[in-house]
């Protein structure tokens, strides 16, 4: 493959969105009538983790609920690191964004009176999760957004395009992407006035994940390489109840099952959460995940027992989980489901302001790749799809309000990376990195493990057959490991065996690229409270 990319310039005022999950599609729709091009590695609607989301949308829409209560639960789950102004926006604007989806024809579950049926998930103080077809919210929302995007005149969708690097112009503005057309096998340089990353998360960096394996944090890596600030990379959320049936990625058993009363039990039937938290199965997710891991580690096993709480209603209420259980030879109506924690969601990512803007002009981030600060150290269940909608809409509004200046692209600094082969990461490197991330940067961390991991990652960069896929995967792993090593405390999803206590003052980790090489500079930033 040639080191020199073909140029594929879009009109000067165009907007590029990388990623076609819920964040990317919703942002694109909200940008109407401005011309938008969406790049997606998979055929539209077929890739990414959005479609797999089982939980739903947390929004204060029910009787007795309010944005203030939702805010309070979000802040409590986030273990001192939730940014107040961002979470305030999320909880106040959430209901209007759910209404937007309803107007697009997306059908959510309703009761006999036609009112939205609201479910409960861990650490929510009231019923506020909007579901679709039981456990198929992600699929329903994606189907509706896909239909709308396909018929929107302002949106061009380019499938089977994988991005490898962000382009910067002479003034340091992000001005598009370098990409590969994976059908033609050619490299492209696609320029745009505004570039929006909606590339999703990074569970695929871990041996056990509920995400598609190719979700390996490439968007965050490319943003950091281009000079954008990354925030709180160390906070990776593990879902406590992935099916432990030897499948990669691991199928999820939604938290809504515990919301319905399903119990976590050991092999001998004892309650696994006894003594760990007063809210038992509905304790914050990090606590439940560590409880499940400890029970497995002690040889007692971990099982989700839905027999009494859900029983024969299982297939109707949770068709996706039911199907995954049956494929694994388990009947959840009559037997407990073996479960284990799995990497599920990245709270950290590209640091953004309240309108999706990154620290680099021309670069925006929405959805899981972004770090708005609303999740803090531990995301409240079902806040992520809502975040994608709320901040996607705000990003679109801010871009629309922009000044319309045009930019030129200087490619001279990009040639070195372009000599890397573009094929996906060879399995051997990815497999060994995923195992090391699980062991050393997973649910329990310490200085020694993280130091060893960082040494291994640095050695892997020097491997002779490294591809651009490997390279971006290693950068993402390095950002997480370096930030985890630097945070000498335990907080939310980040648990250090050698620093088990909270520090007195919570701070965000800010990661910058300190030079032209791959050295990471880490500093602290104070948490914004609502009154600031």
Q: Which positions lie near ligand SIN, rule CB under 6 A?
A: 54-55, 254-256, 344-345, 381-382, 384
The residues near 437 (Cβ < 8 Å, ≥ 6 apart) are 205, 206, 207, 453, 477, 480, 481
**Kind plus residue range of the DSSP H or E element containing 18:** strand 15-18
Catalytic residues: 285
In the bound complex, what is the minimum distance in angstroms from residue 129's beta carbon to ligand SIN? 8
In the bound complex, what is the minimum distance in angstroms from residue 211's beta carbon to ligand SIN? 11
In the bound complex, what is the minimum distance in angstroms from residue 311's beta carbon to ligand SIN? 20
- Does residue 280 contact residue 287 with C-beta atoms inside 8 Å? no
In the bound state with ligand SIN, the residue whose beta carbon lies nearer, of 36 and 262, is 262
In the bound complex, what is the minimum distance in angstroms from residue 100's beta carbon to ligand SIN? 19
- Does residue 207 contact residue 435 with C-beta atoms inside 8 Å? yes
Burial of 309 (0-12, 13-18, 19+ CB in 10 A): middle
- Does residue 508 contact residue 528 with C-beta atoms inside 8 Å? no
In the bound complex, what is the minimum distance in angstroms from residue 253's beta carbon to ligand SIN? 8
In the bound complex, what is the minimum distance in angstroms from residue 381's beta carbon to ligand SIN? 4
In the bound state with ligand SIN, the residue whose beta carbon lies nearer, of 55 and 492, is 55
CB closest to ligand SIN, residue no: 55
- Does residue 219 contact residue 197 with C-beta atoms inside 8 Å? yes
In the bound state with ligand SIN, the residue whose beta carbon lies nearer, of 191 and 211, is 211
Angle 237-239-244 from CA coordinates, rounded to 5°: 135
In the bound state with ligand SIN, the residue whose beta carbon lies nearer, of 55 and 362, is 55
Neighbours of 456 (CB within 10 A): 16
Handedness of CA 442, 443, 446, 449 (dihedral sign): negative
Q: In what order do the strands lie in the sheet with 303-305?
A: 236-243, 337-346, 303-305, 263-265
Task: Name the residue among 50, 58, 210 with its Cα closest to residue 123.
Answer: 58
In the bound state with ligand SIN, the residue whose beta carbon lies nearer, of 260 and 489, is 260
In the bound state with ligand SIN, the residue whose beta carbon lies nearer, of 230 and 256, is 256
């Amino acid at each position: 493959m040639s080191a020199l990319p073909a140029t594929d310039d879009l009109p000067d005022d165009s907007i590029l969105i990388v990623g076609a999950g819920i964040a990317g599609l919703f942002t694109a729709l909200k940008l109407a009538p401005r011309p938008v091009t969406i790049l997606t590695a998979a055929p539209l609607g077929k890739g990414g983790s959005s479609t797999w989301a089982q939980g739903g949308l947390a929004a204060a829409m029910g009787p007795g609920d309010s944005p203030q209560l939702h805010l309070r639960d979000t802040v409590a789950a986030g273990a001192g690191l939730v940014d107040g102004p961002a979470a305030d926006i999320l909880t106040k604007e959430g209901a209007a964004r759910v209404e937007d989806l309803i107007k697009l024809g997306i059908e959510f579950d309703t009761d006999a009176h036609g009112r939205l049926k609201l479910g409960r998930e861990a650490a929510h103080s009231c019923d506020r999760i909007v579901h679709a077809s039981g456990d198929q919210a992600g699929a329903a929302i994606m189907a509706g957004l896909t239909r709308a995007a396909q018929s929107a005149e302002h949106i061009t969708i380019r499938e089977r395009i994988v991005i490898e690097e962000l382009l910067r112009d002479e003034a340091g503005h992000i001005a598009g992407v370098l990409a590969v057309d994976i059908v033609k096998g050619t490299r492209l340089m696609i320029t745009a006035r505004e570039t929006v990353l909606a590339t999703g998360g990074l569970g695929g960096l871990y041996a056990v994940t509920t995400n598609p394996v190719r979700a390996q944090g490439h968007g965050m890596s490319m943003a950091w390489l281009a000079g954008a600030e990354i925030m709180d990379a160390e906070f990776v959320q593990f879902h406590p109840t992935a099916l432990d049936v030897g499948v990669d990625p691991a199928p999820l058993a939604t938290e809504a099952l515990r919301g319905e009363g399903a119990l976590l039990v050991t092999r001998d039937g004892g309650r696994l959460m006894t003594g760990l938290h007063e809210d038992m199965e509905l304790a914050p997710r990090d606590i439940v995940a560590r409880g499940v891991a400890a029970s497995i580690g002690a040889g007692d096993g971990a099982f989700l027992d839905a027999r009494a709480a859900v029983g024969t209603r299982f297939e109707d209420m949770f068709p996706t989980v039911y199907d995954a259980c049956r494929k694994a030879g388990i009947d959840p109506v009559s037997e407990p489901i073996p479960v284990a924690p799995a990497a599920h969601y990245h709270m950290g990512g590209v640091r953004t302001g309240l309108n999706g803007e990154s620290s680099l002009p021309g670069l925006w981030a929405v959805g899981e790749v972004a770090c708005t600060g609303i999740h803090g150290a531990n995301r409240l269940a079902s806040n992520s799809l809502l975040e994608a909608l709320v901040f996607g809409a705000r990003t679109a509004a801010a871009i629309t309000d922009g000044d319309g200046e045009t930019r030129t692209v200087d490619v001279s600094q990009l040639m070195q990376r372009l000599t890397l082969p573009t094929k996906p990461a060879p399995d051997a490197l990815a497999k060994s990195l995923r195992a090391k991330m699980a062991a050393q940067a997973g649910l329990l961390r310490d200085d020694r493990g993280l130091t060893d991991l960082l040494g291994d990652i640095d050695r892997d960069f020097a491997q002779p057959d490294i591809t651009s896929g490997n390279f971006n995967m290693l950068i993402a792993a390095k950002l997480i490991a370096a930030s985890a090593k630097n945070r000498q405390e335990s907080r939310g999803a980040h648990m250090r065996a050698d620093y088990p206590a909270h520090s007195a003052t919570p701070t965000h980790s800010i990661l910058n690229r300190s030079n032209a090489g791959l050295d990471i500079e880490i500093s602290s930033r104070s948490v914004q409270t609502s009154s600031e």
